[in-house]
Amino acid sequence: MYLITITYTQPLVAVERVLEAHRQYLREAPLGSRIVMTGRRRPATGGLVMLRADSREAVEAFVRNDPYCTENVAAFEIVEFDVAQIAPGLETLKGD
**Domain covering 2-82: architecture:** 2-Layer Sandwich (3.30)
| C-alpha torsion sign, points 80, 82, 84, 90 | positive
Closest CA to 67 of 22, 35, 27, 32: 22
Task: For 41-83, write each residue's pLDDT tens digit.
Answer: 999 999 999 999 999 999 999 999 999 999 999 999 999 999 8
- Residue 43: asked if its preceding bond is cis (omega within 30°), the reply is yes
Please provide residue 75's backbone torsions phi and psi, each rounded to the nearest 5 degrees. -105, 150
Contact present, 55 and 62 (Cβ < 8 Å): no
User: What is the percent of the chain with per-residue pLDDT over 70, rounded to a whole number?
Assistant: 97
pTM, to two decimals: 0.89
Q: What's the mean pLDDT when you consider all of the chain?
A: 93
For residue 29, give the DSSP letter: S
Q: Is the pLDDT of residue 27 over 70?
A: yes
